[in-house]
Amino acid sequence: MNYNILVTDHSGHEHELEATPGFTIMEIIRDAGLDLEAICSGCCACATCHCYLNEEWLDKLNKADDDEESMLDQAYEVKKNSRLTCQLTFSEELNGMKLTLGPKF
Ligand code: FES
């Protein structure tokens, strides 16, 4: 079975990306060639992988831990649905998840 996520880029265009369980959302977006910096490559040390989750998916994910919360404090335009995509691992239950890339640094 194929899984996917739907990602809206900075210009408002929605991309359907093939998603493999076990990969982080950041890896899926970056490997698809979208404009996501992810400077620290997933070490929770840069906040350049910031995204806004579509509200309906918020409850399906674990809450941000203290490390993610403190990095989000350094991101731009943080909202209550903000997450760092490197801290979210894709699983079958997240098939069809929608998110929007955060503002660029
Ligand atoms: S890639 Fe740096 S915090 Fe996610």
Provide DSSP, 8-38.
E-TTS-EEEEEE-TTSBHHHHHHHTT-S---
**Strand, coil or helix: what is 51?**
strand
Give residue 2's pLDDT: 95
Q: Please provide residue 59's backbone torsions phi and psi, each rounded to the nearest 5 degrees.
A: -75, -15
Instruction: Provide the domain limits for residue 14.
Output: 3-101
Arithmetic mean of pLDDT, 61-88: 96
Mean pLDDT rounded to a whole number for the chain: 96
Q: Each residue of 20-44: pLDDT tens digit?
A: 999 999 999 999 999 999 999 999 9
Which residues in 22-58 are b (16+ Cβ under 10 Å) and which e?
eebbbbbbbeeebebebebebebebbbbbbbbeeebe
Residues for the chain: how many in total?
A: 105
Give residue 63's pLDDT: 92
Cα(53)–Cα(80) distance, integer angstroms: 9
Q: Is 84 in the pocket of ligand 1 (CB under 6 A)?
A: yes
Does this model's pTM top 0.85? My answer is: yes
CA of 48 to the centre of ligand 1 (A): 6
Q: Using 50, 70 and 90 to split pLDDT, how confident is the model at 104?
A: confident
Q: Which of 43, 66, 68 to mutate to test the pocket of ligand 1 (most atoms within 8 A of CB)?
A: 43
Give me the helices (H) in 32-78, please. 66-72
Cα(54)–Cα(70) distance, integer angstroms: 21
| Structural domains in the chain (count) | 1
CATH of the domain at 52: 3.10.20.30
Residue 1, pLDDT above cutoff 90: no
CA of 99 to the centre of ligand 1 (A): 16
